[in-house]
Every structure is written in structure tokens, then in C-alpha cells.
């Protein structure tokens, strides 16, 4: 089976299991998703959603983040860990969005990557969820499961993104990544995956594939 055909078959199956898959981070405005994604580094989405519920009330506009007292912002995001670095980059990214991009989160990869604390993973999430563009968010679930399914043999996020862009239908790539996150939590876990009940077991080629390359 060609990889493109296999990718479509996988997407079809995931659509039946997770027809309503979407980003688990809660937000109302694009800049809020940008901030929530920055907070999610080394932190669970569930905890981020708890923190941002109060955070987005305390700092209710893009300007309020851009002009925030850094100590107050640090205290507000402290439960998400690495709070000094995260507060600094949140303030800086909001300043740049306001001062350089007229208050609008950029709609292209090059400009998004100029924002403090924004890498390709976050940029892809914003492009897919906010602007409906073809995007591939290569988080740990995406890397692990795409490798197990034989859609990539590589481990580096940028390489996995490159591989998946070649074979995933562009209009389904963003949804695939959200579905894979749910699938990775429910069934294809990093340790002790539930292979016997897996809807994709017939398409799995390397159940031992992990995010980190095996030592030789």
C-alpha cells in the first residue's frame, strides 16, 4: 500500500473514532490560544485550562498582557511551571503582535516564528486552528504514533512534519493531529499501549517505536 493511501485509510478510521476532535486548550481569541500553547510546554493541557480561566479574566486584552507587570504575570502563570521564562515570552510575544502586527496574530509561519517562545509546533497549531490552513503539529503523540503506523521513520519534529506533509491530505492534516493526541491518550500510550483493542492495529508496523530513537 502506498503511504498516501495508507494515510487516507488511517484518517478515515480516526474520523469514525474521533469525529469531533479539536484542540483541548480553551480560548476565545487567537492571542489566547497563542498564550495557552506557550503555557502548555512541560505542562498538561488540563492544568493550563485551569490557569487560563483566571489568567484571561485578570489580563483580559492583548494590551494587558503586553503592558503587564512581569512579577504579576509570573505569579499568575506559576502553576504551569517554568513561570519566569513563560511570563517573559508571553509579554514579549504580545508586545510584538501589538506593535508589529497591529494586534493580529500572524497568519503565516515566517512571522509567527519571530514571536518570543513560538516554535514550529505552536505556529502550526495556530495556523490550523485559527486560520484553517494545512498544518502538522508534531507533538510527542504525533511522533510516536506516526512512527508506529509507519508514516515516518524519523524522530525529530521538523523531519516528522516534513514526512507527514507529503502524505496527509492537506485538508485533514490538522484534524489528524488532534485525533492522534486523543488516540495517544486513550489507546496508543507510550507505555503499555492497548494493542488488542486498537482500531488501527492492522496498520501498525512498529509498536515499539518511541519518540526517542533506540540506542544501538
Burial 177-188 (b: 16+ CB within 10 A, else e): bbbbbbbbeebb
Q: So what's the pLDDT on residue 1?
A: 83
Burial 98-129 (b: 16+ CB within 10 A, else e): beeeeeebbeeeebbeebebbebbbbbbbbbb
170 vs 111: CA distance, rounded Å: 21
Q: pLDDT-based confidence at 212, cuts 50/70/90?
A: low
| pLDDT tens digits for range 82-130 | 999 999 999 999 999 999 999 999 999 999 999 999 999 999 999 999 9
Using a 10 angstrom Cβ sphere, with 0-12 exposed, 13-18 middle and 19 or more buried, the burial of residue 17 is middle
Closest by CA to 65, choosing from 32, 37, 39, is: 32
**Taking residues 25-35, what's their average pLDDT?**
98
Q: pLDDT-based confidence at 213, cuts 50/70/90?
A: low
Residue 105's SS3 state is coil
Set out the domains of the chain in order of their start, with CATH numbers. 3-21+136-203 (1.10.1670.10), 30-129 (1.10.340.30)
86 vs 106: CA distance, rounded Å: 20
Res 214 pLDDT > 70: no
CA-based angle 159:13:135, to the nearest 5? Answer: 35
| pLDDT tens digits for range 57-83 | 999 999 999 999 999 999 999 999 999
> Which of 5-14, 42-51, 204-213 has the least mean pLDDT?
204-213
Amino acid at each position: 500500500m502506498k503511504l498516501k493511501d495508507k494515510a487516507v485509510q488511517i484518517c478515515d478510521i480516526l474520523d469514525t473514532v474521533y469525529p469531533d476532535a479539536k484542540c483541548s486548550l480553551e480560548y476565545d481569541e487567537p492571542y489566547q490560544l497563542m498564550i495557552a500553547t506557550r503555557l502548555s510546554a512541560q505542562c498538561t493541557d488540563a492544568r493550563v485550562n485551569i490557569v487560563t480561566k483566571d489568567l484571561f479574566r485578570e489580563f483580559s486584552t492583548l494590551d494587558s498582557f503586553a503592558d503587564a507587570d512581569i512579577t504579576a504575570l509570573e505569579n499568575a502563570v506559576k502553576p504551569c511551571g517554568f513561570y519566569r521564562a513563560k511570563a517573559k515570552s508571553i509579554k514579549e510575544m504580545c508586545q510584538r503582535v501589538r506593535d508589529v502586527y497591529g494586534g493580529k496574530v500572524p497568519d503565516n509561519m515566517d512571522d509567527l516564528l519571530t514571536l518570543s517562545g513560538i516554535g514550529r509546533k505552536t505556529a502550526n497549531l495556530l495556523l490550523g486552528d485559527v486560520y484553517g490552513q494545512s498544518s502538522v503539529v508534531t507533538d510527542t503523540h504525533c511522533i510516536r504514533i506516526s512512527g508506529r503506523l509507519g508514516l515516518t521513520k524519523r524522530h525529530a519534529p521538523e523531519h516528522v512534519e516534513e514526512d507527514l506533509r507529503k502524505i496527509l491530505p492537506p485538508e485533514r492534516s490538522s484534524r489528524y493531529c488532534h485525533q492522534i493526541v486523543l488516540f495517544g491518550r486513550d489507546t496508543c500510550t507510550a507505555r503499555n499501549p492497548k494493542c488488542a483493542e486498537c482500531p488501527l492495529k492492522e496498520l501498525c508496523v512498529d509498536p515499539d517505536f518511541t519518540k526517542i530513537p533506540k540506542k544501538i
